């Protein structure tokens, strides 16, 4: 009986629902998702990439692991930064540019206790 009702289709006199009206809630949800999540994330990625491209020697950086140091050399062909993390012992480390979380500005240097 249920199968025969499914085969019957729409009753005479009623129009089939509009396809756009059926998909409108999904379109609306995707638009909200795009403007609240996808678009801001892309903007943040572009800003981070721009910051990585503009890192130069003598910039004070912080890594994603929390290491703070001053850039002393840049190996562009290998995408590596050489960072001095201790002034007294002249300790240096090499790290990938992608490990840089940010460049510390002049105001933040004083708070972090990093020498110029």
The per-residue pLDDT for 8 is: 54
The per-residue pLDDT for 113 is: 61
Q: Is the model's pTM score more than 0.85?
A: no
Share of the chain above pLDDT 90, in %: 67
Q: 70: which residues sit within 8 A by CB, 6+ positions away?
A: 58, 59, 60, 61, 83, 84, 114
**Residue 46 predicted with pLDDT over 70:** yes
Mean pLDDT of the chain: 84
**Residue 56 predicted with pLDDT over 70:** yes
Residues 66/95, Cβ–Cβ less than 8 Å: no
Q: What CATH architecture applies to the domain 57-112? A: Roll (2.30)
Residue 79: both structure tokens together: 């995408």
Domain-by-domain residue ranges, the chain? 21-54, 57-112
């Amino acid at each position: 009986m249920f199968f025969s009702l499914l085969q019957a289709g729409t009753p005479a006199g009623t129009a089939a629902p509009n396809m756009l009206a059926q998909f409108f809630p999904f379109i609306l949800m995707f638009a909200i998702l795009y403007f609240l999540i996808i678009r801001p994330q892309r903007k943040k990625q572009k800003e981070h990439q721009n910051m990585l491209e503009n890192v130069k020697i003598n910039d004070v950086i912080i890594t994603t692991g929390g290491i703070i140091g001053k850039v002393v050399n840049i190996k562009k062909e290998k995408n590596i930064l050489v960072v001095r993390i201790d002034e007294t012992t002249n300790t240096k480390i090499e790290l990938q540019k992608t490990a840089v979380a940010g460049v510390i500005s002049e105001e933040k240097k004083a708070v972090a206790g990093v020498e110029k």
